[in-house]
Amino acid sequence: MRRACPGCGGRWMDQWMERCDRVLFQTYGRFPVTFVRGRGCRLWDDEGRGYLDLVAGIAVCNVGHCHPKVVGAIQEQASRLIHVSNLYYTRPMVELAERLVEVSFAQRAFFCNSGAEANEAAIKLARKFSKDHGHPERFEVLTMEGSFHGRTLATVTATAQEKYHRGFEPLVPGFRYVPFGDLEAARNALDDRTCAILVEPIQGEGGVRCAPPGYLQGLRELCDGAGILLILDEVQTGMGRTGRLFAYQHEGMAPHVMTLAKGIAGGLPMGVLLATEEVASCLTPGTHASTFGGNPVASAAALAVLSILLEDGVLEAMGPVAERFREGIEKLGRAYPQFVEVRGKGWLLGMEFREPCRAVVEECMRRGLLVNCTMDRVLRFVPPLVIGMDEVEEALEILAGAFQEVLGRG
């Protein structure tokens, strides 16, 4: 028997939703749609309905769904070799590390499988760095209020949002929180136990909040002065999302350590820890590992993603398209008293309202547009970076109708 989906505007649960709800952990509040196919910025559900996708797997499918070059690289590699182990050498992982080193501040890469794992590795690296440099008393990492770094015990502790901590106490020792964007607060919080500062250039999950100009450079100077590490979490901002390959590149500075995940492998699971030679050398054989890290298929996909972003002109082309959308949502928003502001950079945009925006998300979905909401009141737009002007106009038109329907009642 069909059941109505709670809070989903009259849609029915189909058999996949019911089967999913019977056997999967109930950790996600899913929308009532089962996707079966994707191409570029479009997704199709199992009833053949098409959607324009401004979510992109939450900032993952940066080159679009099933980009032919990514599909080709995966197919090619999968037909040759899927997995061996880090007991041995494989080619795609070496080529990928070389490419990442070439295009970033880093000299070495460590591969894992997710953003949380990359941050977990970065935290271990920071502790080890201090120990190896004669400071066994340094183990605390300073993180920012409103941050998001993952769901493992250490990374959820690093995540300075109480809602993610509840029920999992005691948390991991060694984290202190300061207000995001406040350099003075960071300076005052540093003490002789601090081994690193961990920060996102833009807080994505935290409501699309940008670091103020000069903040990241200021943190770097603080870290240099104290002989500790600046770790940038570019899990969401990296891989072209903000218009440069990495967000730190807008700021004329570089961190000691950076973490990547999400967009790196076109939708296959991969996380990366990048660091300078001096810092990376602290993780010696046996100190850290990952069974799947640097997996040949994920590495081949990531090489294809980098080639599309850097050689097919995606980063150059995305600026005006994102700008047009930004202007469009600012104009749309100004017509409603519930609207606060638009924030973000490139294709990591947030639109804050004074009230929860779940109803807008649902209305957009009914109209064939996927958008996401974070921190309850911030609509987040993180489409594939290859989205075109026509698709942006289409999205703006749907948003205008959805706002009218939901906020117009207001």
- The amino acid that residue 292 corresponds to is F
Q: Which is nearer to ligand PLP, 236 or 242 (CB)?
A: 236
Strand partners, 52: 42, 369
Residue 46 designated active-site: no
Q: Tell whether residue 150 is a contact of ligand PLP (CB under 6 A).
A: yes
Pairing type for strands 140-144 and 175-178 reads parallel
Q: Tell whether residue 261 is a contact of ligand PLP (CB under 6 A).
A: yes
Q: Do residues 381 and 351 touch, judged by C-beta distance below 8 A?
A: yes
CB of 203 to ligand PLP, least distance (A): 8
Q: Which is nearer to ligand PLP, 5 or 382 (CB)?
A: 382
The three-class DSSP label of residue 225 is helix
134 secondary structure, DSSP code: T
Q: Which is nearer to ligand PLP, 64 or 206 (CB)?
A: 206
CB of 353 to ligand PLP, least distance (A): 21
CB of 156 to ligand PLP, least distance (A): 10
**What distance in Å separates the CA atoms of residue 122 and residue 154, rounded to the nearest whole number?**
11
Q: Which is nearer to ligand PLP, 32 or 115 (CB)?
A: 115
Residues ≥6 apart with Cβ < 8 Å to 270: 111, 112, 113, 261, 264, 295, 298, 299, 301, 302
Q: Which is nearer to ligand PLP, 146 or 296 (CB)?
A: 146
CA torsion angle 392 393 394 395 (round to 10): 50
When binding is defined by CB under 6 A, the residue of 109, 116, 254, 365 that contacts ligand PLP is 116
Q: Tell whether residue 148 is a contact of ligand PLP (CB under 6 A).
A: yes
- Interacting positions 191-250 with ligand PLP (CB under 6 A): 200, 204-205, 233, 235-236
- Interacting positions 312-351 with ligand PLP (CB under 6 A): none
**What distance in Å separates the CA atoms of residue 403 and residue 410, rounded to the nearest whole number?**
10
By the criterion CB under 6 A, which residues form the site for ligand PLP?
114-116, 119, 148-150, 200, 204-205, 233, 235-236, 261
Any idea which residues carry the catalytic annotation?
148, 233, 262
